Amino acid sequence: MAQRRPLEGIKILDFMWVMAGPASTRILADYGAEVVRIESPTRIDTARTLSPYKDNTLGPDSSGLFNNCNAGKLGLVLDLKSPRAKEVISDLVRWADVVTESFSPRAMRGFGLDYDVLRAIKPDIVMLSSCLMGQTGPLAGIAGFGNMAAAISGFHNLTGWPDRPPAGPFGAYTDYVSPRFAAVAILAALDHRRRTGEGQYIDLSQAESSLHFLGPALLDYTVNGRCDERAGNTDPRFAPHGVYPAAGEDQWVAIVCRDDREFASLCDTMSRDELASDHRFARAAERLNHRAELDELVAAWTRTLAPEVVEKTLQARAVAAHRVQNSSEILADRQFQYRKHFVELEHPTLSHFTVEGPRALLSRTPAEARRSAPTLGQDNAYVLEKILGYSEQRIIDLVVAGLFG
């Protein structure tokens, strides 16, 4: 028998789509929550269209992103605009502890499913809405993705080289940050409900939650009036602190010396002991003033070596270093393998599918991704028969009414 997971018994009705929303309920599903996600029969979840694709082939089930964000959930395809949607949704709300959605503000009201409606059905429901800029304010209505929330929150301007246009963090950055805040918010609200019987509504702005990842820069402005700018790979405390070229095409290694001792070890490893006593480099403050010269010296050494050789040699001397890894290098990385980061799951149409595993190891009740993300409508029968206990006749009536597209 499979081990009991920590959130078993928690039931989530999940209207979230694309990335930021589903990523949060994926985490809760790993911990054992039962998540029923609703998909539209007419409007495809954007995530199903996004790369990387299994075997490089586009198809409704082949998106690695979709699978990664939805593993472990049940899938119910249902047309929210159908006149009879409300009766099924109402029953699911009565079943659920939590309702989540990530549409643009007002969409749930349009479906007749805003918090006041849900609360009338189930007074202690916890509902979380996650959208780009929050449910209110002049920009509440803007549609978009995490790259847009990241740009308007300052992440892009703070990523890249000072002498170049902003590079921006990769992809929809706030979609990786805000799901963690959403999951924490839901769990805290559930604990409050358990103790007091009180449910509530949570308005999570992906931009506002993500701004906590820029906290020090925001305070530097509100306190010191300084507007931080992108600074390449430099650091205010450490030098060397950079990404250096290694032998081979697009091969790189990151190196950080956190104190003078580590710098001396680096010099020794490079067979350049004289640098450790050079007045330009001996102490951290001087190294920061001679950063560029120092970077040249380090690069001259790394350039001829394989990145993993630099990493191992320096780490053997307790100097922080790591090759810059792409997906295939991470797949082969001994530490990622040790932590079973990649999990292969059976898949109904593609035989099997690899997703990332749970991101924390619990000693007694470990999290686990138990099944692949649902194909379209994969669990319609299970949800209607087993969860809602509908009769065969009732299900046929709903099918005829066009509820499932």
Partner 1 sequence: MTMLSPYRVLDLTTERGLLCGQMLGDLGADVIKVEPRGGSPARMIPPFVDDRPDPDRSLYWWAYNRNKRSITLDLERSEGGELFKRIVERADFLIESFDPGYLARIGLGYHVLAAINPRLIEVSITAFGQDGPKANYADADLIIMAAGGPMILTGDDDRPPVRVSVPQAYLHAATDAAIAALAAHHERVTSGLGQQIDVAAIQSVAMATQSNVLAAPLGAQEARRMSGGVKVGPLHVPLVWPTRDGYVALTFLFGSALGVFSKKLMEYLCERGFCDEATRDKDWIGFGENLASGKEPLSEFHRANEIVRSFTKSHTKTELLKLAVERGILVTPLTTVEDVVQSEQLASRGYWQNVQHNELKRTIRYPGPFAKFSATPVEYRLRPPLVGEHNQEIFSRELGLSADRLASLKRAGII
**Which residues are marked as active site?**
175
Task: Answer yes or no: are the C-beta atoms of 28 and 97 closer than 8 Å.
Answer: no
Length of the chain in terms of residues written: 405
Shorter beta-carbon distance to partner 1: residue 81 or 359: 359
Calculate ∠ Cα 160-162-164, nearest 5°.
Answer: 70
Whether the link from the prior residue into 245 is cis, omega within 30° of 0, is no
Nearer to partner 1, 251 or 380 (CB): 251
The DSSP line for 255-322 is: EE--SHHHHHHHHHHTT-HHHHH-TTTSSHHHHHHTHHHHHHHHHHHHTTS-HHHHHHHHHHTT-EEE
Binding mask 14-33 for partner 1 (x = CB under 8 A): -----x---x---xx--x--
Among 23, 74, 66, smallest CA distance to 46 is for 66
- Residue choice 107, 117, 121, 217 for contact with partner 1 (CB under 8 A): 217
Nearest residue (CB) to partner 1, 94 versus 161: 161
Q: Which one of 37, 73, 287, 322 is in contact with partner 1 (CB under 8 A)?
A: 322
Phi, psi of 393 (to 5 degrees): -65, -40
* Binding residue for partner 1, selected from 200, 269, 313, 375, defined by CB under 8 A: 200
- CB 283, min distance to partner 1, A: 16
| Residue list 339-358, contact with partner 1 (CB under 8 A) | 339, 341-342, 344, 353-356
Q: Which of residues 22-81 bind partner 1 (CB under 8 A)?
A: 23, 27-28, 31, 43-46, 48-56, 58, 64-65, 68-69
Q: Is 148 in the site for partner 1 (CB under 8 A)?
A: yes
Q: Is residue 271 within the footprint of partner 1 (CB under 8 A)?
A: no
Q: What are phi and psi of 243, to 5 degrees?
A: -115, 120
Contact between residue 10 and residue 98 where contact means Cβ atoms under 8 Å apart? yes
**In the complex, least distance from residue 372 CB atom to partner 1, rounded to whole angstroms:** 12
- Rank residues 136 and 391 by Cβ distance to partner 1 and give the closer one: 136
Per-residue string for binding with partner 1, 283-312, x by CB under 8 A? ------------------------------
- Which H/E stretch holds residue 108? helix 107-110
- Closer of 23 and 384 to partner 1 (Cβ): 23
Q: Does 159 bind partner 1 (CB under 8 A)?
A: yes
**Residues facing 53 on adjacent strands:** 63
Decide whether 358 or 383 has the Cβ nearer to partner 1.
358
Q: Which is nearer to partner 1, 17 or 390 (CB)?
A: 17
The nearest distance, CB 394 to partner 1, in angstroms, is 32
What are 343's strand-pairing partners? 355
- Of 218 and 401, the one with the shorter C-beta distance to partner 1 is 218
**From 1, 196, 249, 392, residue interacting with partner 1 (rule: CB under 8 A):** 196
Residue 197 interacts with partner 1 (CB under 8 A)?
A: no
User: Which residue from 231, 210, 207 is spatially nearest to 159, judged by alpha carbons?
Assistant: 231
Q: Which of 1, 224, 249, 274 binds partner 1 (CB under 8 A)?
A: 224
Segment 243-262, which members bind partner 1 (CB under 8 A)? 243-245, 250, 252-254, 256, 258, 262
CA distance 240 to 16: 44
Regarding 82 and contact with partner 1 (CB under 8 A), the answer is: no
Cβ atoms of 95 and 384 within 8 Å: the answer is no
* Residue 47 DSSP one-character state: G
Exposure of 172 in the CB half-sphere (CA atoms within 13 A):
18
Q: Degrees (nearest 5) of the Cα angle 106, 29, 207?
A: 40
Q: CA torsion sign, 262 to 268 to 272 to 278?
A: positive
**Count of residues touching partner 1 (by CB under 8 A):** 168
> Please, what is the minimum distance in Å from the beta carbon of residue 83 to partner 1?
25
Q: What six digits make up the tokens of 85?
A: 């949607």
CA distance 388 to 270: 68
Q: Considering the rule CB under 8 A, would residue 85 count as an interface residue with partner 1?
A: no
Pattern 162-191, partner 1, x by CB under 8 A: --xxxxxxxxxx-xxx--xxxxxx-xxxxx
238 binds partner 1 (CB under 8 A): yes
> Which residues, numbered 355-384, are part of the site for partner 1 (CB under 8 A)?
355-356, 359-365, 367
CA 379 – CA 384 distance, rounded (Å): 8
